[in-house]
Amino acid sequence: MGVFFYNILLVLLKTGIHLASLFDGKAKKWVQGRKNIFETLEKTIPANEKIIWMHCASLGEFEQGRPLMESLRAQGTGHRILLTFFSPSGYEVQKNYKGADWVFYLPADGPRNAKRFLEIVKPSLVIFVKYEFWYYYLKKIKYRNIPLLLVSALFRKDMSFFKWYGGLQRKMLSRFDHLFVQNEGSKKLMDEIGLADITSISRDTRFDRVIEIAEKFQPIPLIEQFIGNSKVIVAGSTWQEDEEVLQKTFTAITNLSLKMIIAPHEINEAHLTDLKKLFPGSVLFSQLPTANRQPAISLS
């Protein structure tokens, strides 16, 4: 795919999201979150700051970048941290994250947007997490000689980077100063396209986060009360297709004492209503006695 077709895809992406925002809440947040974004950045970020900029597509990538972000902060170098998201699924959950000095949506890719963003932020280091490849941002970062890293990257043979039409995608990868990949398979694929010298295996940084959460585990009384002595199935970050399979499976199980906890990826009202239809006997976590948080967990 050449730059010409990439530009067409950018136009189609932005047009599609703006049209979807008329009836889809997530798309609406994507659009609204970027209104006057540059004016807000200019008012918020002081000049002459030493800034490390980390970008994540969504919440899952944030959890992979979080251990690295917190490690950088703990080093006490005096750098401040800017965290950006592409998706509302990440931004809306972590917009008040205390581990970063600022949290914003990333302005849509394009030569003018990328140039203006970098002129405002002037990062000393840029870290992209796992799956974010925006041509103009990567191009402008490289031209400014700003150190650029990709962390927790995971590649498969069927991805466009390794197809005959993936020249532009391969060029985007070559703009990184170093690629930290999760496994041997990803490293081998990088070697095959000539990027062996800038690629290292660092495993999945999300494991660091999982270990940290496990070590700091605090029981949730309402959940423990719900489970009792029963065995429980926990399904996290589920989508509609997952939930339909879970419903069929759960219905077929004859163990009446088995319980299930579903933590859906999307927690908007429409999705929760659909979940209640799939699991008529379920109760939302927010509906349990003394629960005072937004509906995030559906219990069956």
Are the C-beta atoms of residues 60 and 237 closer than 8 Å to each other? Answer: yes
Architecture of the 3-211 domain:
3-Layer(aba) Sandwich (3.40)
- Per residue of the chain (300 residues), what is the pLDDT tens digit? 689 999 999 999 999 999 999 998 889 999 999 999 999 999 999 988 999 999 999 998 998 999 999 889 888 888 999 999 999 989 999 999 999 999 999 999 999 999 999 999 999 999 999 988 999 999 999 999 999 999 999 999 999 999 999 999 999 999 999 999 999 999 999 999 999 999 999 877 666 666 666 667 788 888 888 888 888 889 988 888 999 999 888 888 877 788 899 988 877 788 888 888 888 888 888 877 764 443 344 444
- Count other C-beta atoms under 10 Å from residue 52's C-beta: 22
- Count other C-beta atoms under 10 Å from residue 100's C-beta: 23
Say which DSSP state 216 is in: T
Report d(CA 258, CA 245) in Å as an integer.
Answer: 17
DSSP string, 135-161: HHHHHHHHHTT--EEEEEE---TTSGG
Q: Using N-to-C axis directions, what is the helix angle for 25-32 and 3-20, rounded to 10°? A: 120
Residue 83 backbone zone (phi > 0: left; psi -120 to 50: alpha; other: beta): beta
**What are the structural domain ranges in the chain?**
3-211, 220-299
What pTM, to 2 d.p., does this model score? 0.76
CA dist 287 to 28, 226, 230, 236, 299, Å? 27, 12, 21, 19, 10
Are the C-beta atoms of residues 63 and 152 closer than 8 Å to each other? Answer: no
Q: Are strands 232-238 and 259-264 parallel, antiparallel or unpaired?
A: parallel
